[in-house]
Amino acid sequence: MIASVQPPEGGQLLSPLEIDPTQVDPPLDWAGLFGNEQPVEVELGCGKGMFLREAARLHPDVNYLGVERASKYYRVAVSRLTKTGSTNLRLMRADGLDVLDRWIAPGSIARLHIYFPDPWPKKRHHKRRIFRPELMELAARCLVPGGEFCVATDHGDYGTLIREILAASMDLFEPRAWPEDAPDRLPTNYALKWERAGRALWWARYRLRSAP
């Protein structure tokens, strides 16, 4: 059972960037939300929002939805991203798997980003991990044909599991080269944090082969 969308804390909407799940019905109507027909990219687990800030600034012709489950980080992201004045951004406090499952219409997003997902190293917590086999099926359903799935991690064991899950979904996705200096490999809070700590980072992107 996937946890449902949480309303913003206190029920108060603080920013025009926020999507109030109590005021809209799934699936999200992208054109209605953004007021245009630009392609939409989604980041699950956006944390404090650094990737979204850069992406929205660099690509005003793309719309971005950030999804964050933890209230503390969600509020930081709302505050920081509201200050940017970018109009091509929206944020939702929700569980990423639930958003893929219910809130995104099939074949309606151009890219899905998941950067530095929580590894939950203790075995009894593994069920909290966002990377699991059904994630790939949900991602494939939400992406447009040829759409991309971008991922990064610093974590050895979890990284191995992520690669195994991706390898098992090669009927749906094919790997694409993603050079270190590619302009769309943007910084995230955790990328910078782990880089500073001297950890090896693994970045990869995949293309959806065709609509499942």
Ligand X SMILES: C[S@@+](CC[C@H](N)C(=O)[O-])C[C@H]1O[C@@H](n2cnc3c(N)ncnc32)[C@H](O)[C@@H]1O
Rounded CA separation 64/52 (Å): 7
Helix (H) or strand (E) holding 149: strand 143-153
Q: Least distance from C-beta 46 to ligand X, angstroms?
A: 6
User: Is there binding between residue 188 and ligand X (CB under 6 A)?
Assistant: yes
Among 189, 205, 206, 208, binds ligand X (CB under 6 A): 189
Rounded CA separation 111/145 (Å): 10
- Site pattern 51..70 for ligand X (x: CB under 6 A): ----------------xxxx
15 to 44, contacts with ligand X by CB under 6 A? 44
One-letter identity of residue 11:
G
110 to 149, contacts with ligand X by CB under 6 A? 115-118, 130
Residue closer to ligand X (CB basis): 79 or 209: 79
CA 8 to chain centre: 18
Stretch that binds ligand X, among 55-63, 83-91, 92-100, 132-140 (CB under 6 A): 92-100
The tokens describing 21, both together, are 């799940």
Q: At what angle do helices 50-58 and 71-84 cross, to 10 degrees?
A: 30
Q: Least distance from C-beta 31 to ligand X, angstroms?
A: 24
Residue closer to ligand X (CB basis): 63 or 188: 188
Number of residues lying near ligand X (CB under 6 A): 21
Q: Least distance from C-beta 35 to ligand X, angstroms?
A: 25
Q: Residue 51 phi/psi, 5° resolution?
A: -60, -45
Q: Least distance from C-beta 128 to ligand X, angstroms?
A: 7
Cα–Cα distance list, 101 to 22, 26, 96 (Å): 17, 10, 9
Q: In sequence order, which ranges of the chain are alpha helices (DSSP H)?
A: 30-34, 50-58, 71-84, 96-98, 133-142, 156-167, 189-196
The residues assigned a catalytic role are: 118
Among 96, 104, 141, 206, binds ligand X (CB under 6 A): 96
CB-CB contact of 161 with 118 (8 Å): no
Residues of this chain that bind ligand X (CB under 6 A): 44-47, 67-70, 73, 95-97, 115-118, 130, 188-191
